[in-house]
A and B are shown apart, each in its own frame.
Chain A
Amino acid sequence: MSVTTERRTDIGPPHYEQFLHPVIKKNYGAWKYHEILKPGVLVHVAESGDSIYTVRAASPRLISTEFVRKISALAEKYCDGYLRFTSRNNIEFLLSNKDNIDPLIEELSKFTLVGGTGRGISNVVHTQGWVHCHSAATDASGLVKAVMDELADYFTSMKLPHKVRLAVACCLNMCGAVHASDIAILGVHRTPPRIDHETLPNLCEIPTTVASCPNNAIRPTSIEGKSTVKVDEDKCMYCGNCYTVCPSMPLADPLNDGVSIWVGGKVSNARTEPMFTKLAVPYLPNNPPRWPEVTEAVKKIVEVYAKDARPFERVGEWINRIGWARFFEKTGIEFTKYHLDDFRHAGTTYKRSVQNRY
């Protein structure tokens, strides 16, 4: 028998229908409501009266084929082979038989946590970090592990005022799009790129490199007759744009790279419009493997929110109600000059009234 060697391209992803549970296929577009039966367990009820049960479990996102084979085997055993993933890296097992829920949870509990539903902390959206990225100012998988070990109880329960969405991005490129999360952890560089004038003329296109800087800090220059660039260090805000287009301008600086913490963003339109995250802590040191300063700061924010927010207030809604002055007071986080915006549209963040809490 001959093996076909025809090269297929541009075939696109396979059709999703073949991966849908029969109950889902039958009731597609005809769902009536859903309920959270307990943390990590949902039931969706269709117009037809059919139910599909979902068991949601954590995944570290960075996983092995072994891990996937393990969850596949559980899906075979309890879910007729059907499962899916959420936009927050959770695994969702889809069950038509209610009796399979608890045995599945028992097996899952041997290697992961079941939860991530409702008024708690769901899985963390995050990036690659030192595992796989050239521009990372910190690790992502390790930070997530360290932070979620501290907050695991909020994953497996639903006792917060509202859902809290966490995200980690290991540099300002924000592949994890942390700019709209309740609490965001963002890796930061804090020193200008160190220019390798030897390699730059060969590796980088100078006009592109100059144009890459959002603050016009890069200028063409020549050193010993060779074209290169110089950086006005007073203007550099360490964003790493130049490094993206020019490998000869690395920013990694073990002594100064670290982590910042941001709060109060949301994506959903529920009650209030989507909000950006805002700066809470400008810098904490990189302290692997457990980043104790970061986990402590995040935990503190969660705990103050848990105590102080009203039911169904997201972190940003809570802060908007109590005011930023109270947020810093209650969390004990120091307010510094770094909290004052000095980029584009900075003036829109200045207070222009005398309304204050005394």
Chain B
Amino acid sequence: MSDELKTPLLDELEKGPWPSFVSDLKKMAPKKPMVRDLLGQLEKSYRDKRGYWKHGGLVGIMGYGGGVIGRYSALPEEFPGVSHFHTVRVNQPSGWFYTADALNELMDIWDAHGSGLLNMHGSTGDLVFLGTVTDELEPTFRELTARDWDLGGSGSDMRTPSCCVGPARCQNACYDTLALTYDLTHKYQDELHRPMFNYKFKIKMSGCPNDCTAAIARSDLGIIGIWKDDIQVDQAAFAEYLDSGMNVQEYVVEKCPTKCISIEGKEFKIDNSDCVKCMHCINMLPKALRVGKERGAAIVLGGKAPIVEGALFGSMMIPFMKMDDFEELYDLIERIWEFWDEHGKNRERIGEFVERIGLAAFIEGIGLEPIPQMVIQPRDNPYIFYEEYYEEE
């Protein structure tokens, strides 16, 4: 191809107020032949309205089965710079906290060994280094680990767990999402790096029912903070909201899903026995209302996107688990993995597995008792598989 890179279609994406990835990539292109050819291939995709990447290939780090995604251009002669364009998933720190020094160190590694392009962050949570050649994988890995970074998951393994900002900077955190994510990721390094499951298994930790990590929708196992006792009320702060002219009646009281709030004079009244911990009033009146003191987490299982059998939200397994230590949770996770491993099928996510065998069989398999909190309603059909019946003596 000619020396001058022409990208008339992509250039259109340099206009407008939103930060432009094209401008960013074009600045990198003179330094990195890989970026230059990526832009060339992308321009071609924009012209032809199709992607030009081959189906992934088997590449990786010695001893690891996950963490690297092989990627090859379908047009290696035209765009040799991206003939190999593999992804390296770097396990992010809990809560996506960094220092400038740490980021610069990571950028030094990636400038030396890869395209210099990345995602902050991938959908599962990893810091994603986009684009390097097979020969650079091991050197990248060595430099990362020398500086205390490790890879994340890919394929049929425990995917990199991720969490919300949690107690680091949020008053709603009902347990330490950062500590759990760190501890769990370290405990299950083998499951993270060596795919041995039926399919992927994603874990997300959200500190409260606002669910900032979308644990209910985007993780096979969601650990969502919750409290059991009364919402803490600062009546003086509440009166200030009233005095400020805020329409508390319409925006808070009438929006309560169980209608358990009332205002008496300038006092906030709540029937906590009827509260479903939806967070709306707490979100609206953060200075006056706070989550209760008896805190823990609800455990939901089976959330996923549509592939294969349709999208699912996680369904309730345990409405409340203490999170002072994580042993009870780990015990549950291991029972779930063992049962899924034994009875699940290849490429069957845990949510689809539960749908196939039925919730009753599943909870029996992992040793949980049926409770009404697990369902929206009891069955409305009479097709019951009775297991106990009397026989003539």
Contact = CB atoms under 8 A, between A and B. Distances in A.
Contact of A64 (B117, B165, B211): B117
Interface in A77-99: 81-87, 89, 91, 94
Nearest to B7: A289
Contacts of A87: 96, 162, 164, 212-214
Interface stretch (B308-316, B331-339, B363-371): B308-316
A301 interface: no
Contacts of A288: 9, 45-46, 49
A133 B51 contact: yes
Interface stretch (A217-225, A227-235, A263-271, A331-339): A263-271
B63 interface: yes
Contacts of B165: 84, 86
Nearest to A69: B107
Interface in B297-321: 305-311, 313
Contact of A65 (B20, B116, B218, B284): B116
Contacts of A240: 307
B46 A19 contact: no
A323 interface: no
A268 B225 CA distance: 12
A12 B120 contact: no
Given A65-B110, A131-B42, A211 B185 contact: no
Given A62-B117, A257-B50, A14 B20 contact: no
A9 to B, nearest CB: 6
A148 B21 CA distance: 12
A112 B18 CA distance: 7
A241 B19 contact: no
Contacts of A149: 15-18
B60 interface: no
Interface string B81-107: 000010100011111111111111011
Interface string B155-168: 00000001011011
A212 B347 contact: yes
Contacts of B13: 142, 145-146, 289-290
A85 B96 contact: yes
Nearest to A179: B311
B142 A9 contact: no
Contacts of B148: 11, 14
A105 interface: no
B384 interface: no
- Chain B contact residues (Cβ within 8 angstroms of A): what range? 35 or more
Interface string B110-132: 11000011111111000000110
A323 B287 CA distance: 35
Contact of A172 (B18, B169, B306): B306
Given A13-B94, A14-B148, A239-B307, A177 B278 contact: no
A306 B30 CA distance: 44
Contacts of A145: 13, 16, 18, 20-22
Contacts of B178: 16
A84 B214 contact: no
B249 interface: no
A203 B190 CA distance: 29
Contact of A85 (B27, B121, B280): B121
Interface of B: 9-10, 12-13, 15-22, 24-25, 27-28, 35, 38, 42, 45-46, 48-56, 63-64, 71, 85, 87, 91-104, 106-107, 110-111, 116-123, 130-131, 142, 145-146, 148-150, 162, 164-165, 167-171, 173, 176, 178, 182, 185-186, 189-190, 193, 209-214, 216-218, 250-251, 255-257, 276-280, 283-284, 286-287, 290, 305-311, 313, 345-347
21 contacts: A7-B142, A10-B189, A10-B193, A12-B150, A24-B168, A32-B290, A33-B171, A60-B20, A61-B119, A63-B120, A73-B100, A87-B214, A113-B19, A133-B53, A134-B56, A142-B46, A179-B306, A212-B308, A254-B49, A269-B278, A271-B280
Given A32-B290, A243-B55, 18 more contacts: A14-B148, A16-B97, A31-B169, A60-B24, A62-B25, A64-B117, A111-B19, A113-B17, A131-B38, A132-B53, A134-B51, A145-B20, A177-B218, A179-B306, A269-B209, A274-B216, A289-B9, A312-B251
Interface of A: 4, 7-16, 18-20, 24, 28-29, 31-35, 44, 52, 54, 58-69, 71-73, 75-76, 81-87, 89, 91, 94, 111-113, 125, 127, 129-136, 139, 141-142, 144-146, 148-149, 152, 155, 169, 172-180, 208, 211-212, 214, 239-241, 243-245, 247, 250, 252-254, 257, 265, 267-272, 274, 276, 286, 288-290, 311-312, 343-345
9 closest Cβ pairs, A-B complex? A149-B16, A247-B55, A174-B305, A29-B167, A72-B100, A269-B209, A130-B45, A180-B217, A16-B94
